[in-house]
Structure 1
Amino acid sequence: MEQRQLERYADDFLKREFDMPLGIPLRISKRMKSKLGAFRIKYVRGKKNPQGMEIVMSDEFIKNNPVETILDVLYHECVHYALFVTGQPYKDSDPVFIRTLDRLGISKTRTHMYKGQSHLYECRSCRYQFSKNTKGYEKRYICRRCRGKFSYVGMTSRKY
């Protein structure tokens, strides 16, 4: 799915459900690995007045999921945006946000599992293996089981 298609879906959804257009950029990020999508508010020097907003979707998530799942996450981020713009509580734990998702039949945060390429690591001492969505884990962390160092094993595919 391409960026223009996502923008059209988001704009149609916001007009239909909140009577407002998509007035912010929608971006697909190749660097986003730990989240599927995000509504971001940019502040300058900690001021309460936002200087910009955007909806960001993970490229890896878009490549490895069906259209229904992608749209569910996109609409979830659109609800964050619509509630923020209308001055209502917009965070994941806010009751207004949760009720709005329930009313629209949209999934809550952490409903969908990550699918796509992952990096496999192994402890050099105890041979404990695990995978992470980000690369470079072996340079920053040690094994909590034996305090050994990790080595990078390679890429793996996670299809849950």
Structure 2
Amino acid sequence: MEQIQLERHADTFLKREFGMPLDIPIRISKRMKSKLGAFRIKYIRGKAQDKEMEIVMSHTFISNNSTETILDVLYHECVHYALFAKNQPYRDSDATFIRTLDRLGISRTRTHMYRGESHLYECRKCRYQFSRNMKGYEKRYICRRCRGRFTYAGVVERR
């Protein structure tokens, strides 16, 4: 699914459910690995009322999931945006946000599992193995079991 299609779906959803158009950009990020999607607000320094907003979707998530799952996450982020624009509680833990998701039949945060490319690591001492979505884990962390160093074992697919 491409950016234009995402924007079209989001605009239609927002007009139908909240009576408002999509006035912020949707960006597809190849760097986003830990989240499937996000509604981001960036406050501009020195200006109290100025802020930049966007919805960001993970390229890996879009490449490895069905249209139904992608739209569920997109609509979840649109609810964040719509409630924020209407000055209502918009965070994942807010009751208003949860009630709105339930009313619209949209999944909550962390409902969908990550699918796609993952990186496998192994401890040099105790041979403990695990996978992470990020590369370079072995350079920054040590094993909590034996305090050993990790080696990069390669790429695995999570399905």
Is the structural similarity TM-score above 0.5? yes
1:53-99: per-residue Cα shift (whole Å, max 9, x none)? 00000000000000000000000000000000000000000000000
Deviation at 1:50, TM superposition (A): 4.5
Measured in 2, the distance between the counterparts of 1:125 and 1:48 equals: 53
Q: TM-score, normalised by structure 1?
A: 0.97
Aligned residue number for residue 80 of structure 1: 80
- Work out the CA distance in 2 between the residues paired with 1:51 and 1:150: 41
RMSD across aligned C-alpha pairs, in angstroms? 1.1
State whether structure 2 residue 111 is matched by structure 1 residue 111.
yes
Does the CA-based 8 Å contact 2:37-2:57 persist in structure 1?
A: yes
Give the TM-score, by structure 2 length. 0.98
Corresponding residue for 1:131?
A: 131
Change (3 A) 1:76 1:45: same
Partner of 2:21: 21
What's the CA shift for 1:45? 3.2
**Unmatched runs of 5 consecutive residues or more in structure 1:** none
Is 1:59 paired with 2:59? yes
Give the Cα separation in 2 of the matches to 1:152 and 1:72: 34
User: Is this contact kept in 1: 2:29–2:56, CA < 8 A?
Assistant: yes
Tell me how far apart the structure 2 counterparts of residues 116 and 84 of structure 1 sit (CA, whole Å).
Answer: 31
Which stretches of structure 1, 4 residues or longer, exceed 2 Å deviation after superposition?
44-50
Query: For residue 52 of structure 2, what is the amino acid of its counterpart?
Result: G
Distance 1:99 1:63 in 2: 30
Alignment-derived partner of residue 34 in structure 2? 34
| Count of aligned positions | 159
